A = this chain, B = another copy of it.
């Protein structure tokens, strides 16, 4: 019953393993971010804004892999708490470019260090070549999933 032709053999499925790895990473990140009062999406948003100041709500949503509605909820909270600022109205169109405040930047520094340590730990025991080929493999999977042509 455990490996009949109709079923998916989870122990050998790259999809299943992909989810397993992603979950392990998320849990490890939540573990170090929780003491800082931050969720993974919360951190992702700040990190994105540090790299590309002025990103809009929709751009941040795509970068953090959530819907723009979810990002909007988060962004309003970050704005209320003083981590992020947005102009009251759009200069052009409806796009509101977001910026980190000094407080946001400082908060990100602690988080970024913690997250970087998690990623370094994740890659422990892998050679540069192994990391490179894993990178290419994941890129290929993303491309195939998004463009099934």
Contact = CB atoms under 8 A, between A and B. Distances in A.
Given A51-B7, A109-B6, A112-B6, A24 B145 contact: yes
A127 to B, nearest CB: 10
A134 interface: yes
Per assembly, the copies of the chain total 2
Interface of A is mostly: helix
A49 to B, nearest CB: 10
Interface in A107-123: 109, 112-113, 115-116, 118-119, 121-123
Given A2-B51, A20-B65, A21-B18, A8 B140 contact: no
Contacts of A142: 17, 20-21, 24
A13 B119 contact: yes
Interface string A1-28: 1110011111001110111111111111
Contact of A17 (B15, B52, B139): B139
A137 interface: yes
